Structure 1
Amino acid sequence: MTMFTAPAPLPVEPPSGCPFGPPAAFAALRTTQPISKISLPDGSWAWLVTRYADIRTVLGDTRFSSDTTVHGYPLSGMTGGPSTRNRGFIRTDPPEHTRLRRMVTREFMVKRVEALRPEIQRITEELCDAMERAEGRAEGGVDLVQALALPVPSLVISLLLGVPYDDHDLFQGLTGTLLSRTVPDDEREAARAELRDYLDRLVTAKEADPGDDILGRLIVEQQRTGELTHDQVAAFAALLLIAGHETTANMIGLSALTLMRDPATAEKLRQEPALIRGAVEELLRFHSIIRNGPRRVATADVEVDGHLIRAGEGVVVAVPSGNRDESVFADADRLDVCRPNAQHHVAFGYGIHQCLGQALARVELQVVLGTLLRRFPAMRPAVPVEEIPFRTDMSIYGCHALPVTW
């Protein structure tokens, strides 16, 4: 008699004693079961894809849908269920995805983002000044997350969207609840409703008085011409607000901690500042902070590396695993800021849904890390690494807090 073995849940925990590593199960799966079944919290199952080549195949094939309303989509608390309201364009497919994405593509083009570099540098320097003033009187060190990692991307995205920065504590708190893997569903839904109400009020205010910012331009150029509804503008605001600060903030914290624990690499970057761009690509590859997806559902039968994925079956793409694939990145578990192919990582995804704000994230990381290396060469963790509260309870990995001293 054959015994049925239920699929294991999605691996999300870092290896014990190694907070920078992706879940340990990925390495074994890449070799033995690169496409395997996992269980989902609602009792259903999905395919888990762990190899780099297969990840690019899935993300690059439009027969794998990002639409959460398609039957079989592997939902999580982060995706917010199948509701069509305020879904955001990343949860749609072409042609609707193409139409909506084009409305904001120009706002995040490399040339436009590069023009923001001086302002991002000014914001960073001012926050570093404040850290210097606080260091002498801060017991247990300065929390780099609260002092710098969160404020930089929050200030920048608030500036771009025309969101009052005084509201940043509100949307950061709500985002934290939405991205938690441990809060009860009713608490998450309450946070989602509160964020929806906040954005509804924000868009209503901007409809009366559009500013020279992304939301103002969407209202004038798209909503007033009938191309967007009020709710769609609010969905844009939600997506850009959350994505614009949460991921970058956690990359700043993890990257800073990584360099503090690798003084030889940190010194190399101080001596050769031109290496910072490549270092950022390698840090993005090395950390791959999205631990919960991306997710897709097949809309037709698709064969991936000999595995038939049938229409209606969900897929979870293990980006952290793909970025540690030894067949692509030699000695993949080692940080190498001079790695020649680091830019081929899939930390920003792949295909038509590749991260819209990746140019902005890159500039923010380059500026913040370069500034920290220059201004605080003696910076170090103020507590042992085992006392740092890592975000093992969140869909986006990082540090809840990072006490530092110098």
Structure 2
Amino acid sequence: MDCARLWLGLLLPVVAALDFSYHHQPEMEAFLKSISQNYSSITHLHSIGESVEGRNLWVLIVGRFPKEHRIGIPEFKYVANMHGDEAVGRELLLHLIEYLVTSDGRDPEITNLINSTRIHIMPSMNPDGFEAVLKPDCFYNKGRENSNFYDLNRNFPDAFEFNTVPRQPETVAVMKWLNTETFVLSANLHGGALVASYPFDNGVPATGTLYSRSLTPDDDVFQYLARTYASRNPDMRKRNPCRTKIEFPGGIVNGYFWYPLKGGMQDYNYIWAQCFEITLELSCCKYPRKEKLPSFWNENKDSLIDYIKQVHIGVKGQIFDQNGTPLPNVTVEVQDRKHVCPYRTNKFGEYYLLLLPGFYVIEVTVPGHNPHLTKVTIPPKSQNFSALKKDILLPFTGQLDHIPESDPLCPIIPLYRDLQGHSAATKPSLFLFLVTLFHILFK
């Protein structure tokens, strides 16, 4: 057995180790292309579009079947450097790529992760901004925005109010990308603080803004996801690692509670792309000296890996008609946590629902038929890097091939504008009332 492992190690590709420095576009492209060529069986490199100045927006996919979606294999993504002057995340994702591909076949945990997950990594969403930064700086730099001077994290459609800023090429590219894959879980990497922030970033009274927060119907899952990342980062889990006016108990915060913003990417992912996304603020200093990069990698490596694993919580499966034909564009929701944009099956009839352990009722809705209910119990732990698998056979005759893919469209308008009621997650609690009162009295 030891000899077999030795031979396997000798057969695996060897590339020069990535140094701990800041890699500009030519260097980053050379690294990504080298990885793609040397690990072609588990990687696929492609550009999802171009920046204002024509730089490619590169995405490297790592997985056992990197070039195409496979049924039952969830899609995960990391996006960094959305603000060009927030540079730590960009370098962390390059080192994560190197760690994943060099651990395949050597580390059982990473090998299983690659076997069971299709991992999309975009090191830089704003390469023009990164190139515009003249020197490292802990605070605001002109490279924050793209070359048209727009903040990309204020540039997406907003579910709570009209966002009329011109949509930028980088934003359009990401929106199109989200439509091409069945992304389940995501995080976008920022800098300037140390905290894991979860949706919503904007809100209305129906989502809890009267209590200084804005919560999704999946607030329990989002808090769990944020804690999963923060708990493995020794500095992030401190109450106030950056010594700012606001503290983050446990290293997490609701985005709206921290500060409201319009047109953010994480809200857009959750509402229109059916993808749970949180925002990871990874360094008090936005663009620290390169000598600090090894410590950032050591502090975030375990968190980055553990967070990817969370794509395997909850339940997944396919919806079939009585003839065993998969049904696309069928609404699949948990009964007590429906989304303002209903979550639907993809073209393979697949659904993925991120849920914590417990008992749930899944409601499948097909136009012209009564909702079909299925009871599931999510076990305490995911099994072998897989969510609970639950295929659902609908008791309908015929293939239901009359279901149009665009019926009904979820419009890109302020969807929450007229919403009156709110879910259980947004109802007030005594604790949050006292927190709100404290901030009013002492801010």
TM over 0.5: no
Q: Which has the higher strand share?
A: 2
